[in-house]
Each structure stands twice: as structure tokens, then as C-alpha cells.
Amino acid sequence: MTEAVGLDEPETVATPPAADGREMAAEVEAEVALPIAATTPVDLPTRLIPELPRIIAIANQKGGVGKTTTTVNLGACLADIGYRVLVVDLDPQGNASTGLGINIRGLQASMYDVILSDVPIEDCVEASSVRNLFVAPASLDLAGAEIELVPAFSRELRLKNALHEVRDDYDYVLIDCPPSLGLLTINAMAAATEVLVPIQCEYYALEGLGQLLRNVSLVQKNLNPTLEVRTIVLVMYDARTKLSDQVASEVRQHFAEKVCRIMIPRTVRLSEAPSFGQPIIAFDPTSRGAIAYRELAKEVSGGPA
Ligand code: ATP
Ligand code: MG
């Protein structure tokens, strides 16, 4: 059964023009030569949970699709059920860092120093307000890293090498990628054991997915042979719009068991939490967003540590 948590929030977004499901399917199929799996999510096989530690790159080159919200809140919920979690902020915007209460302007060291100057990652790790949850913050100068990395030695493997040192300290490392497929995202994919893609339940949500998957296979061929997109999370689901259901069912048809059963609802509380520097389970623990991300953490991890 697919689930969305609660449906009672007042309408906050206009309903875009209805997507033609078949058109969207054809588009993705053309872009992503993938077998079409069973159309019903009801009989999804049980999710296989990989061994710990898991290093998960949260990637989608489209902007504003819920990468950071998912990184922060999945990370907090995994920590809450007993896993040791490191959030690596690889986006110069620093939203994952500020969303976890870190002031990115006053940092002694950040992911910029780790990637560009070989500073050990533990030197920049900060504790968050959630027990077991740690952050390797980004700072604005990371924006220059894409260019500064170009001539650097083993430029794609900077993060992988940095994480090697702390591999045994964490059960989950969640890497929040920037909205591009540049060298920072490549570093994330080269370091990761798997990729998680958040997909908005909105029109055009699948656009660009082919390019993302092609990049994952390029990284797999050249840098990280075991990398795969293991998890797809449907986010900003609005049960009152047909479009949300159409997109969700399209995505499930294509990606079958990779798609999490739980869908993250569109809720105002989730968008308010970052400005208080808190994950949703601290900001509003009983809200629909908090419940959904808790369920997602259980589904992704298989349950408490
Ligand atoms: P970027 O590509 O810029 O890094 P992103 O993919 O990380 O963006 P987010 O920053 O997580 O996306 O989300 C984009 C905006 O949507 C933010 O303002 C966030 O608060 C809001 N948002 C994310 N998820 C939800 C949700 N489920 N319900 C309501 N608002 C949401
Ligand atoms: Mg982001």
C-alpha cells in the first residue's frame, strides 16, 4: 500500500495543468532506457537493506525539489531512532547546515577546506541539536570549488578520500548535493554507496531524470562500480491534486521497488522549520511532515538501530 500522511491541510498551491500520463511515460522512456516494472505498488517486494555504513548522495540537478529538506529530516529521523548520522553539506548555499542550526558565516573550517585543502573532515564536523546527528557544514566559498577543483589532482575523489577517515564513526552519511551535475555532485557520487533521488509530485518532475541516471552510470563505470540509485522518494505530495497521483503512479511504474511507499506531503510546517534551524521532528514533532519523515527513516533503514 502506498501511504501519504494526513490530507487535511488547506490548499496552498494552484493546480497546474493536468499532465498526460502517457506523454510523461514516453518522455522518460525515451530518455531513460529502463524496463517498465509492474504497474501496481501493492505487491512491492520487501526492501533489501544494505550493510552499514551507508553513504547516501541525495541528488537531483533540478533546483528546489526537496533534496535539502529530505537530507536534514531523514538524517534527523535516522538519528532519532538510534543511528549515528553525519550530514555532509556539499551545496554552497549551505541550506542543510543552516537548517540544522549552524551559522555558516562563523565557521573555522568547512567542506570547502576539506575538498580543496585536504583538511580532515572531523575538523569541520559540528554537533547538531539532535542527539547522534552531526553536520559537516558548507560555506559560501564552496561555490568556487567547482572551478578550483578543475586542475586539482584526483579531483573527483576528494570527498571519498575525506570520508574514508571517518567511515567507522557513522552508520549513515547523507550528502546534500547542489542543484547541478558538476564536480561537487560527482564527488558525492564517487564517495557514496548509493544515490537517493527526491522527486516532486509536480509537472515536469521527471524532466532531467534521464541525465541524472546517465551521470550515475558514468560514475559507476569510471569511479564507483557499485553505485546505484537505490531509493526514490516522492515529495511535496498533495493528495487533493490528481496531478500528484499521476506523477506518483508514473514514477512507481518506472522505478518499482526503488520508490519508497511513504510519500512526503506538501506542508507549510516543513518549509518553516529551516528558518528556526531545526529539523521538523524538533520544530513540530506531531506534524504530518514529522510523521512522514519518521516513517521514511524506518523504511529506508529497516527500523531502529
Ligand atoms: P536546491 O536545489 O536549491 O538545493 P532543494 O532541492 O534542496 O533545493 P529544498 O531546499 O529542500 O530543495 O526545498 C525547496 C523549497 O521547498 C524550500 O523552501 C523548502 O522549505 C520547501 N519544501 C521542501 N519540501 C517541502 C514539503 N514537503 N512541503 C512544503 N515545502 C517543502
Ligand atoms: Mg538544497
Query: Average pLDDT in the 136-152 region?
Result: 92
**Three-state SS string across 78-147, please?**
HHHCCCCEEEEECCCCCHHHHHCCCCCCCCCCCHHHHHHHCCCHHHCCEECCCCCEEEECCCHHHHHHHH
pLDDT at 33 over 50: no
Closest residue by Cα to residue 265 from 1, 4, 68: 4
Which of 68, 175, 296 most suits a substitution to test ligand 1, by most atoms within 8 Å of the C-beta?
68
Closest residue by Cα to residue 196 from 255, 284, 141, 136: 255
CA of 277 to the centre of ligand 1 (A): 14
pLDDT of residue 274: 98
Please list the residues that pair with 3 across neighbouring strands.
Answer: 262
Alpha helices by DSSP H, the chain: 21-31, 67-80, 95-99, 111-117, 145-148, 158-164, 183-191, 209-222, 242-255, 268-272, 280-283, 288-301
Interaxial angle between packed helices 209-222 and 183-191, expressed in degrees from 0 to 180 and rounded to the nearest 10: 60
Indicate the SS3 state at residue 265: strand
pLDDT of residue 223: 96
Evaluate whether 170 touches 134 at the Cβ level (below 8 Å).
yes
Query: pLDDT band at residue 39, thresholds of 50, 70 and 90?
Result: very low
pLDDT of residue 153: 82
**236 CB near ligand 1 (under 6 Å):** yes
Q: How do residues 261-296 score in pLDDT, each as one tens digit?
A: 999 999 999 999 999 999 999 999 999 999 999 999
pLDDT of residue 32: 38
**160 CB near ligand 1 (under 6 Å):** no
pLDDT at 131 over 70: yes
The angle subtended at Cα 299 by Cα 64 and Cα 128, nearest 5°, is 60
Look up residue 264 and give its three cell numbers: 512526503
Which of 88, 247, 271, 294 most suits a substitution to test ligand 1, by most atoms within 8 Å of the C-beta?
271
pLDDT at 122 over 80: yes
pTM of the shown model: 0.88
Alpha helices by DSSP H, 139-208: 145-148, 158-164, 183-191
CA 35 – CA 172 distance, rounded (Å): 30
pLDDT at 299 over 50: yes
CA of 235 to the centre of ligand 2 (A): 14
CA of 58 to the centre of ligand 2 (A): 9
**69 CB near ligand 1 (under 6 Å):** yes
**180 CB near ligand 1 (under 6 Å):** no
Which amino acid is located at 153 in the chain? F
Q: How do residues 218-238 score in pLDDT, each as one tens digit?
A: 999 999 999 999 999 999 999
Query: Average pLDDT in the 88-113 region?
Result: 96
Query: pLDDT band at residue 178, thresholds of 50, 70 and 90?
Result: very high
| N- to C-terminal Cα separation, the chain | 25
Interaxial angle between packed helices 21-31 and 209-222, expressed in degrees from 0 to 180 and rounded to the nearest 10: 20
What is the β-pairing status of strands 54-58 and 85-89? unpaired
Residue owning the nearest CA to atom 26 of ligand 1: 266
**202 CB near ligand 1 (under 6 Å):** no
pLDDT at 42 over 60: no
pLDDT of residue 45: 52
Look up residue 169 and give its three cell numbers: 564513526
**Percent share of the chain, pLDDT over 90:** 79
User: Cα torsion for 50, 56, 57, 58, to the nearest 10°?
Assistant: 100
Mean residue pLDDT across the chain: 87
pLDDT of residue 28: 40
Closest residue by Cα to residue 226 from 191, 193, 255, 186: 193
Q: How do residues 62-95 score in pLDDT, each as one tens digit?
A: 999 999 999 999 999 999 999 999 999 999 999 9
pLDDT of residue 204: 86
Residue owning the nearest CA to atom 8 of ligand 1: 64
